A and B are shown apart, each in its own frame.
Chain A
Amino acid sequence: MAITSTVSPDGNQVTIYIQGRFDFSSHQEFRSAYEKLSHAPSHYRVDLQGTSYLDSSALGMLLLLRDYAGGEQSSIQIVNCAPDVKKILLISNFEQLFDIQ
């Protein structure tokens, strides 16, 4: 449930990495990964390389991020999903809301 993030040198892109289970217990950490930035980036990347499972509260958190980042105008990529994780995202029709790689 460790959440880490990196900001690109120009400050325009933040990448959030989620290790292990992505569920409600990561909620505060996930939120502060993007809310605590001094400069709001224009692009967000959520890297799920290390994510083994996610549940519906994680879906809720992704939607929170989306609205925070500007809703329809947001630019959020979800990258490196394992096949099972991607399946959950697709079942939930998230490909219509996010750029899922």
Chain B
Amino acid sequence: MNDVRRLKILVADDTDTDRLILESIVRKEGHAVVSACNGLQAVEVYRAERPDIVLLDALMPELDGFGAARKIKELAGDELVPIIFLTSLSDTESLVQCLDAGGDDFLSKPYNRIILQAKIKSFNRMRELHSTMLTQRDQIVQYNNRLLQEQTVAKHVFDNVAHSGCLNANNVRYFLSSLAVFNGDVLVAAQRPSGSMMVLLGDFTGHGLPAAIGAMPLASTFYGMVPKGFSMTDILREINGKLKNILPVGIFCCAVMMDINFRKRKIKIWNGGLPDCFVHHHADGSITAIKSTHLPLGVLSNRAFKDDCEYFDLEKNDRIFVWSDGIHEARNATGEMFGEQRLKQVFANNRNQNRLFDEIIEGVQQFVGGGEKDDDLSLLEIRMDEPERVNAYAKEASDRYGNSDVEWSMRFEVKPTSFKVFDPLPMLLNVLMEVPSLRAFSSTLYTILAELYTNALEHGVLKLDSGLKQTPDGFSEYYRLREERINLVDSGYVRINISHKTNENGGLLRVRIEDSGGGFDYSNRDDNGLTAFGYSGRGIGLVEKLCGGVKYSGRGNIAEVDFSWVSDD
């Protein structure tokens, strides 16, 4: 019995000799013994000593073994205390009564030492197994509680990030249901400075926490960029790049993104991997489906990413429906999917357009019935309406932009002492980037400003000759001279005039740069600088390509370009 640790065993028997025999057997096995000579005493000793195993005579004064067994089991609670009845009875009924009272086994008198050893050993194994199980059960309960608590806190953070914005506008309805605490579907909406509304519905592969994690950078990028007026394609690219970087291969985000212009009643839409969106026409109840023409977000590198969008003109009260595949793939009890046909049927059966949204949800829920939900399910409806009826912000922005002539101009002059210490380009570019619709063109605008300013400074003020740049050493010499002269310059100027004017479709930026230099004879200028083979002379060619031409005036010391853009609001 070396493999059984020292146990504490209660021996309860009213017959002194029987009890003494049993005590000595148990003690010889190396166990500790506590004893009692009746049922009541047995319960008391159990309470005080908490023995591991109880040996109980069936027939005892005060309280018999059956009664004592019930009490002891009650006191033991969850813990397993094996009770072995000691009995000289051998009729079936008495033995059954032993087990009914909570006994685990019985041992017939006279005692067989070998059998007693075996039973103690066997019950001890069972007791240990039971106690391991209890510990594990308690751990699981504890882990589960902690997990749920953590998820609840995380969900609070997540919901604040992923489901805020302007979803409470009058013309938006949405439904998101999820399989777990976290939702693998993400819905974000925000308004651009122009008052148009951008909405993105995404469905990450998988469910729960792993899927929700990707929603955080998506949402923060979206809410960071939309109010600043970035174009939809810039935002899509940024989100795509982020997701591609952080998500493991195989996790990506099917998504639809829309830019809804209430003033012009236009929508611009990009669908990467979600089911066809429906435009429901108010006038005749017909449907235009908008297919997915792109790969989901987070699959392609930004270089391979395609951002071309589709444009639609809508009428007032036309509705756009966007959904995750949870609707199409909702299964009923027999495993059949809801499917696009049934979805179209809901539209066909509709009588009151205001009820369409509810009818879709009801249709899916009735179809699923008691069937098991196996995907997150999301539905979004946006109704085209007057800006003033969408929300206060859309109205205000529309009033501001509807009256479309926004006009300003700025003049900036760089004086001799500034040339060597100050580069005006970053500052000018920063000013231009405050105009939301110009942000998409930051790189192009930089090139235009840089080329014109560089020409004015280097040829006009510093009187450098780009003829120097014919050879590699000449190239270096040119910049050495530039450095030398810029430190000595004590006269001259570069004046930069920028004027900006918007119109219904976009706007016009006019940049005029004048320098103090002697100019050049622009009547003979060969306007195809880009075919030159030297190391220089490409600057103006670039500007001409980007602006459609450069106009010179004065003595050739004034260059003027028009950069016009079409805004995609």
Contact = CB atoms under 8 A, between A and B. Distances in A.
A56 B446 CA distance: 12
Contacts of A67: 472
A31 B475 CA distance: 11
Contact of A57 (B443, B454, B530): B454
B443 A64 contact: no
Given A55-B447, A55-B450, A60-B475, A91 B545 contact: yes
A63 B474 CA distance: 13
A69 B271 CA distance: 45
Contact of B444 (A61, A63, A64, A84): A84
Interface residues on A, range: 20 to 34
B467 to A, nearest CB: 13
B450 A63 contact: no
Contacts of B475: 27, 60-61, 64
A88 interface: yes
B522 interface: no
A29 B469 CA distance: 18
B479 A56 contact: no
Interface stretch (B94-102, B330-338, B532-540): B532-540
A38 interface: no
A6 interface: no
A52 interface: yes
Contacts of B537: 56
A84 B446 CA distance: 11
Interface string B534-569: 011111011001100000000000000000000000
B337 to A, nearest CB: 40
A24 B476 contact: no
B304 to A, nearest CB: 11
Given A24-B479, A87-B444, A88-B542, A55 B530 contact: no
B536 A52 contact: no
A63 B451 CA distance: 18
A68 B446 contact: no
Interface string B428-447: 00000000000000111011
Interface string B450-479: 110010000000000000010010011001
B544 to A, nearest CB: 10
Contacts of A27: 475-476, 479
Contacts of B546: 91
Contacts of B19: none
Binding site secondary structure of chain B? helix
B482 interface: yes
A59 B530 CA distance: 11
A98 interface: no
B520 to A, nearest CB: 17
Contacts of B472: 31, 64, 67-68
Binding site secondary structure of chain A? helix
Interface residues of B, number: 26
Given A27-B475, A88-B542, A56 B536 contact: yes
A88 B476 contact: no
Interface string A39-61: 00000000000001111110111
Nearest to B466: A60
Contacts of A52: 443
Given A60-B475, A91-B530, A93-B530, A84 B545 contact: no
B535 A63 contact: yes
Given A24-B479, A68-B472, A91-B545, A59 B443 contact: no
A91 to B, nearest CB: 5
B538 A92 contact: yes
B178 to A, nearest CB: 36
B54 to A, nearest CB: 76
A69 to B, nearest CB: 12
A56 B542 contact: yes
B468 to A, nearest CB: 11
Contact of A92 (B443, B479, B482, B541): B541
Nearest to B537: A56
A16 B251 CA distance: 33
B451 A56 contact: yes
Contacts of B442: 84
Nearest to B301: A80
Nearest to B545: A91
A61 to B, nearest CB: 8
B536 A92 contact: no
B538 A60 contact: yes
Name which of B475, B476, B531 has the most chain A CB atoms within 10 A of its CB.
Answer: B475
Interface in B200-232: none
B443 A55 contact: no
B538 A59 contact: yes
Contact of B443 (A60, A61, A80, A84): A84
A55 B476 CA distance: 17
A70 B128 CA distance: 82
B450 A53 contact: yes
Interface string A3-23: 000000000000000000001
The 3 closest A-B pairs by CB, nearest first: A84-B443, A56-B539, A60-B535
26 contacts: A23-B450, A24-B482, A28-B476, A31-B476, A52-B443, A53-B443, A53-B446, A53-B450, A54-B447, A55-B450, A55-B454, A55-B539, A56-B451, A56-B538, A59-B538, A60-B535, A60-B538, A61-B535, A63-B535, A82-B443, A87-B443, A88-B542, A91-B545, A92-B538, A92-B541, A93-B530
Given A24-B482, A55-B454, A59-B538, 7 more contacts: A31-B472, A53-B446, A63-B535, A67-B472, A68-B472, A84-B444, A93-B530
